[in-house]
Amino acid sequence: MLLTAVLALCTGPSPMAVPPQPPRRFAFVNVSVVPMDRDWVLSGQTVVVEGDRITAVGATGSVAVPADAVRIEGRGKFLIPGLAEMHAHIPPGRQVADSTIERVLALFALNGVTTVRGMLGDPRHLPLRDRAARGELLSPTIYSSSPSVNGNTMRTPAAAADSVTTYRLAGYDFLKIHPGLSREVFDTIAATATRVGIRFAGHVPLEVGIERAIEAGYWSVDHFDGVMEGLVPATRPFTTAEDGFFGLGLIDRADERRIPVLAVKAKAAGVWVVPTETLMRHIVGNYTVDEMRAWPELKYMTAAEVAGWVRTTAAMRGDTTVSAASKARYLAFRNKLIKEFHRAGVGFLLGSDAPQVWNVPGFSLRRELRYLVDAGLTPFQALESGTRNVAVYFGTEAATGTIAAGKRADLVLLDGNPLQDIANVGRQSGVMVRGRWLDQAEIARRLKAIEVR
């Protein structure tokens, strides 16, 4: 199991204070809109924003632009909905400085990530979620899990029932499941969560297994956790030690013919998946530590943080019983999982597990998009996992996920068409977060202030 790497940025005065109150109206003119309601581009459009809402979308010349609106020239540019990081880690703990947390959130926002699903909740995150919703800091919209639900925090059914109820009353958006739960305790968690009205998501404990997880109604299975184990025939039992990193040690035992069976069950149960392929490729792939240390976005991480990632990578790669060929087969197998689950209609959500090892907030999501396309998804399908699908998942289709009048003004302006080349998501011209416009010069200034190395 990957231990959460808590971001340890320097704790000086935060350069990420909320921007001054901007003009209340904006108009993107002559822009190509990628609305994400279907796989198409609307050329020559005007998009009007008032406050935190889109008020009009239509052909330039047919849409009235308010006289006091700030005009943003969009000729040659492409406007997409803001992206979501659906496996994020907001730094937890009382010892973490406010400025550190604000910088993590700002890194997401400055990279066009306008929604995050925090996967390791903390009491501090709840008021932070509310401040973000009120626009009091530069931050994505936050959905927060409970603190970790695992075999150490919930040892008995009675304790599990009490904790689930407590987390629901505290206001967490969902429960985060980690390994180590017994089947009996998990069943109590699932039953109590259903009764009190809180969803659960995350890892799949070995004693529970993917089939029971699907049956119980997981909101999402992250990392494809439990899937590799669920594909191993009962005639080929394995130990916990043999399981390895998300089933890496089972690559020669898993029966890929059973993938469609699991995929159909997940679809029928409404279970979503968050692959987090960046995490897998950073640990299992061919990147050397020196290559990853040379990535330009590492300048936003402290030397201590990077050193921690080096140690974590070494520990995760320390199993010399797994050959390079087996690792290559494992990554290819995960691509098959992505294709087969998507073919079955299972909902995909975009997540890179940032900030975990080598995943700098915002930047890593661009790699995740590329890996999804490499696995066989179209650029539209990959983008959909971080836009429209997120709205469906949270039940906010009326307000988010696509570009249309009435939707929240979470937008990213790009210098290239992402439906032609997913790498164009990294060619930002500006970001709008809840109606606050940050052009690329402002983004560059703020990113420069975040540099710590």
CATH number at residue 342: 3.20.20.140
> Is residue 73 in some structural domain?
no
Tens-digit pLDDT profile for residues 416-443: 999 999 999 999 999 999 999 999 999 9
> Is residue 349 in some structural domain?
yes
- pLDDT at position 383, please? 99
| Residue whose C-alpha is closest to residue 382's, from 74, 86, 76 | 86
Rounded Cα gap, residues 341 and 138, in angstroms = 35
> Is residue 425 in some structural domain?
no
> Is residue 28 in some structural domain?
no
In this predicted structure, the answer to whether residue 314 has a pLDDT above a threshold of 60 is: yes
In this predicted structure, the answer to whether residue 409 has a pLDDT above a threshold of 80 is: yes
> Is residue 158 in some structural domain?
yes
- pLDDT at position 20, please? 57
Classify residue 169 by burial, with Cβ atoms within 10 Å: 0-12, 13-18, 19+. Answer: exposed
> Is residue 445 in some structural domain?
no
Number of domains into which the chain is organized: 1
- pLDDT at position 6, please? 39
Range of the domain at 180: 81-407
Rounded Cα gap, residues 360 and 9, in angstroms = 12
| Residue whose C-alpha is closest to residue 240's, from 231, 249, 252 | 249
- pLDDT at position 14, please? 53
Q: What is the mean pLDDT of the chain?
A: 94
- pLDDT at position 322, please? 86
> Is residue 38 in some structural domain?
no
In this predicted structure, the answer to whether residue 21 has a pLDDT above a threshold of 70 is: no
Q: How sure is the predictor about 93, in pLDDT bands with cuts at 50, 70 and 90?
A: confident
